[in-house]
Amino acid sequence: MKILDRYVAREFLRFLGLVLATFVVLYLLIDFFEKIRMFMSNAATVRQVVTHFLYTIPMIVTQTLPAAVLLASLITFGTLSRHGEITAMKAGGISLYRIAAPVVAIAAAICGLLFLFSEYVTPKTYERAEYIRLVEVQKKESLGTFKQNAIWYRGKDGIYNFKFFDVQRNEIQGITIHYLKDMSEISMRIDAERAEWKDGKWIFHNLLITRFPKDDFPQLERVRQQVVAMPETPADFQVVQKNTEEMGFFELREFVRKLQSEGYDATRYVVDMHGKVAFSLVSLILAVIGAAFSVRSERSGGVVQSIGAGIVLGFSYWIIFAFGLSLGRSGTIPPLLAAWSANLLFGAGAVFLFKRLRT
């Protein structure tokens, strides 16, 4: 059995390497042609272009590895079935469950490695890739920093501090502005629950305005809603706001806890937090589906059919997974269900396919 395990594992890893390398190259080519105009218009150097794309590779691997596992599983077992090797193994008293065991074991290991990779490698490299694109190439000033789950930004009119900036909604939560006089003395402070970018201006909600007149006590004023003349646009804050791709699971979990403890709506981030775990584990499910789908018939269509099936199944998973996340972020369904719905559906499909096989 050890010889058989090594043979099946070797075939699977060989196809996995080829498929993953193909995905990475195709992704890089598409990404390059999408960004080439931006690089040329900003006179980017060859070093900047090359390093930017090198730093995006870990993110590409993270996003495409589950699909590569699915396709490699389909091709591996499709090839074995087409060459009659599955039939020979079954004739020797080896069940399909046992034949698939090496691939399932490798897929399980990939799940753990993918989670660790997404936790410790991808966030740092993706953040660096975005820094090269936004700051080094597009020359957007990095006037802020993300520290202790809050953003500090040196604006044109003062120093801003806010809990987080929602890129999709163009909305700032928990903002404080310190207006400085001669960069040494605070002349006014504005605290607001949130600020939204609407019709080219910032509208602040539930404000507390504190003025510091010279030789007098501070003057406080509460305002329900007010337009604040803030020269920065949402694009300025994108440079310093970390998105979920730049945070690992544990960092994102702490960020969610902080937002919730302070009374802010963290639904979007809760969904993405659960999504990180769900996506890390999908490789195991897709490997089982690939094995069951390929050996369901001894007259398999071979590699071409396996590739076609892999593309259809892979796109189907991505559509369902993305749709679930979208519903969760909008609050339509609970975050846990939003993140795991695709895994539950495909997991049930994997069990169904294997149950129907004659092992």
Cβ distance 282 to 289 under 8 Å?
no
Instruction: Indicate whether 49 and 158 sit together in one domain.
Output: no
pLDDT of residue 241: 66
pLDDT values of the chain reduced to their tens digit, one per residue, 359 residues: 688 889 999 999 999 999 999 999 999 999 999 999 999 999 899 999 999 999 999 999 999 999 999 999 988 988 887 877 887 887 788 888 888 899 999 999 999 999 999 999 999 999 899 889 988 898 876 555 555 557 788 877 788 888 888 877 888 888 999 888 766 678 899 999 999 999 999 999 999 999 988 777 888 999 999 999 888 888 877 766 677 888 889 989 988 888 888 777 788 889 999 999 999 999 999 998 888 877 665 554 556 776 777 788 888 999 999 999 999 998 899 999 999 999 999 999 888 887 777 65
Q: Which residues of 277-286 are buried (b: 16+ CB within 10 A; e: fewer)?
A: ebbbbbbbbb
Do 6 and 121 fall into the same domain? yes
In which domain, by residue range, is 162 found? 143-238
Residue 91 lies in a domain: yes
User: Are residues 320 and 226 part of one domain?
Assistant: no
Residues 222, 198 share a domain: yes
Confirm whether 14 is domain-assigned.
yes
17, 106: one domain:
yes
Task: Kindly state whether residues 27 and 63 are assigned to the same domain.
Answer: yes
Number of domains within the chain:
2
Same domain, 60 and 147: no
CA triplet 121, 124, 127: central angle to 5 degrees?
A: 140
Last residue of a domain, one of 223, 238, 253: 238
pLDDT computed for residue 245 by the predictor: 82
Residues 271 and 350 in one domain: yes
Confirm whether 335 is domain-assigned.
yes
How many residues belong to the chain?
Answer: 359
Name the token pair of 148. 């202790």
Phi and psi based region of residue 218 (left: phi greater than 0; alpha: psi -120 to 50; beta: remaining): beta
In a domain? residue 220: yes
- Looking at the fold, whether 99 and 152 belong to one and the same domain comes out as no
Question: Same structural domain for residues 86 and 117?
Answer: yes
Its pTM stands at: 0.80
Note the pLDDT of residue 205.
95
Q: Is residue 319 in some structural domain?
A: yes
Residue 243 in domain: no
Under 8 Å between Cβ of 235 and 142? no
pLDDT of residue 222: 93
The answer to whether position 258 is within a domain reads no
295, part of any domain: yes
101, two tokens: 């065991």
Tell whether 122 and 271 lie within a shared domain.
yes
Q: 8 and 125: one domain?
A: yes
